[in-house]
């Protein structure tokens, strides 16, 4: 783990793995330090930003140094199930790449439990880890100019759902009617770091 | 009739802003908010509002509003011509409007963004605790258009700020203090490379300032390397593979995939918010 200076009021904690990153994020968030402005998980990093003139970065460092990073202490994780219609444009491509049938793709994708590791790209877009190995596939060579809202997709070690229509290069498996982001809701983002997610096939 | 302000002309871009919605980056939501924070706070103080009240951020002026009720207004940012029913009243001072009067903001000679505060503030439903328009994720009230009627809150403060002076005009050459890192080691002699002059391009917006100049060169071992997505903050100077830096402003994405060579110190951000295309920027790495 490395602590990299990030401007005058933030640090970037560089971790060895996604699991270590998740543990660091959870340890810092669980402590609820009042002077932290932002805790932003990334694929291998946690960005910790403090209110200027406070000791929050030093407190965060002390916390992480003392934390047991072998396990993620996220309290009671929220469990979310998303109903998906597996009619995505790339499902045959994904099946072919994996050397299995389209039905096997659905069985693998619905059989796993995922964890929201971090967000980015757009409000409410969560990068979900836990994707079974045969589904870990590269992005499309040419990204689509428009991916519809609710599209359920995969890329590399992640699966995710596009909260709104946008360009995108992930392989599309299907779509969900769930609202991923509503800025007026009590919980604006359906998926937040640490949440557990399952997909359920609905025909 | 309830207190309101009607937009007559909006200029190139007029947006509702307040101090933004920090604290939601982990959900993918940018901080947003007025880019020139000191100018925005001053405008609110001049009309007796709390500094958190919502006002209007204009780009290159051109905003004309009609008061639907008696109110106090103030325009801040770069010095700019302000008129009431065609009569000059000046910027950086509180101005009283009676119902039916029209206030017009001219085009500033230097700088980009002026702020209009109205007593009582703009009374618009907040989203995620803020009334700011975020141009990246399209959260908050849409850009203002002629005919938009903005409700006003109840004025309850006494105007203060008579001790404040007009902002200096935005310079054509800026020296910007930065802290190197977190990824300065991706670049050979990052401090020296950053001190070469950069020019603000017309591709710049509230997401970031795009700069042109001599492309920043990565070290040979980092050439062509990829960086896993990581968190970014306002002021981060991100360097895409073409070597031309982007300085993230308030509507920046919350994570990015390119190395951040340095971060602008917060006190230098208001000047960047006012930097027109063509402005020369020199970064001064700060120990």
**pLDDT tens-digit series, residues A107-165:** 999 999 999 999 888 899 999 999 999 999 999 989 899 999 999 999 999 999 999 99
Q: Is the pLDDT of residue B78 over 90?
A: yes
Q: Does B182 touch chain A (CB under 8 A)?
A: yes
Residue among B246, B18, B43 nearest B141 (CA): B18
Task: Mark yes or no for CB contact A7/B255 under 8 Å.
Answer: no
Give dist(CA B55, CA B150) in Å, integer. 10
Q: Which domains does chain B have, with CATH numbers?
A: 4-151 (no CATH), 173-285 (2.40.100.10)
* Secondary structure letter of residue A51 according to DSSP: -
List phi, psi (to 5°) of A27: -65, -40
CB contact set of A128 (below 8 Å; sequence gap of 6+): A114, A115, A116, A117, A158, A159, A160, A191, A197
Neighbouring C-alpha atoms within 13 Å toward the C-beta of A100: 15
Residue among A112, A41, A42, A115 nearest A77 (CA): A115
Percent of chain B beyond pLDDT 70?
A: 96
Q: Which residues of chain B lie closer than 8 angstroms to A125, CB-CB?
A: 28
CB contact set of B24 (below 8 Å; sequence gap of 6+): A123, A188, B31, B128
Mean pLDDT, residues B207-215: 96
Between residues 226 and 245 of chain B, which touch chain A (CB distance below 8 Å)?
228-233, 235-236
**pLDDT tens-digit series, residues B252-268:** 999 998 999 999 999 99
Q: What is the largest CA-CA distance in chain B?
A: 68
Q: Has the ipTM of the complex gone over 0.90?
A: yes
Mean pLDDT, residues B10-21: 98
The pTM for the full model equals 0.93
Residue among B53, B51, B39 nearest B92 (CA): B39
Percent of chain B beyond pLDDT 90?
A: 90
Q: Is the pLDDT of residue B1 over 60?
A: no
Cross-chain CB nearest to B182 (options A5, A119, A123): A5
Give dist(CA B189, CA B195) in Å, integer. 11
Task: Mark yes or no for CB contact A119/B254 under 8 Å.
Answer: yes
């Amino acid at each position: 783990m490395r602590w990299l200076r990030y401007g005058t009021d933030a640090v970037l904690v560089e971790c060895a793995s996604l699991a270590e990153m998740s543990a660091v994020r959870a340890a810092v968030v669980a402590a609820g330090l009042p002077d932290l402005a932002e805790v932003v998980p990334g694929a291998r990093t946690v960005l910790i930003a403090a209110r200027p003139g406070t000791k929050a970065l030093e407190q965060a460092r002390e916390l992480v140094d003392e934390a047991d990073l072998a396990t993620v202490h996220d309290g009671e994780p929220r469990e979310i199930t998303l109903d998906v219609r597996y009619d995505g444009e790339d499902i045959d491509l994904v099946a072919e790449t994996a050397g299995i049938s389209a039905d096997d793709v659905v069985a693998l994708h619905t059989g796993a439990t995922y964890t929201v590791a971090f967000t980015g790209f757009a409000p409410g877009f969560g990068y979900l880890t836990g994707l079974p190995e045969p589904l870990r596939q590269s992005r499309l060579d040419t990204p689509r100019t428009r991916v519809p809202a609710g599209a359920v997709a995969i890329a590399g070690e992640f699966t995710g759902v596009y909260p709104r229509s946008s360009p995108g290069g992930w392989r599309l498996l299907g779509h969900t009617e769930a609202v991923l982001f509503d800025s007026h809701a009590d919980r604006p983002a359906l998926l937040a770091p640490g949440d557990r997610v399952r997909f359920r096939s609905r025909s | 009739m309830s207190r309101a302000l009607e937009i007559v002309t909006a200029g190139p871009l007029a947006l509702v802003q307040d101090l933004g919605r920090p604290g939601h980056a982990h959900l993918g939501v940018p901080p947003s908010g007025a880019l020139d924070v000191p100018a925005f706070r001053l405008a609110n103080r001049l009309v007796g509002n709390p500094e958190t009240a919502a006002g209007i951020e204009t780009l290159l002026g051109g905003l004309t509003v009609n008061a639907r009720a008696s109110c106090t207004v103030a325009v801040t940012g770069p010095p700019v011509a302000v008129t009431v029913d065609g009569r000059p009243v000046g910027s950086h001072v509180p101005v009283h409007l009676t119902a039916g009067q029209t206030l017009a903001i001219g085009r500033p000679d230097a700088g980009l963004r002026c702020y209009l505060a109205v007593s009582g503030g703009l009374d618009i439903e907040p989203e995620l605790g803020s009334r700011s328009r975020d141009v990246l994720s399209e959260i908050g009230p849409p850009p203002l258009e002629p005919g938009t009627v903005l409700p006003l809150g109840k004025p309850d403060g006494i105007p203060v700020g008579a001790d404040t002076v007009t902002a200096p005009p935005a310079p054509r050459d800026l020296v910007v203090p930065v802290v190197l890192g977190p990824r300065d080691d991706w670049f050979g002699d990052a401090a020296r490379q950053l001190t070469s002059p950069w020019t603000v391009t017309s591709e710049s917006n509230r997401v970031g300032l795009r700069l042109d100049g001599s492309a920043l060169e990565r070290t040979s071992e980092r050439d062509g390397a990829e960086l896993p997505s990581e968190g970014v903050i306002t002021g981060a100077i991100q360097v895409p593979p073409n070597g031309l830096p982007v300085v993230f402003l308030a509507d920046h994405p919350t994570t990015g995939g390119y190395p951040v060579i340095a971060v602008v110190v917060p006190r230098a951000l208001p000047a960047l918010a006012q930097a027109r295309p063509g402005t020369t920027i020199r970064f001064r790495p700060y120990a």
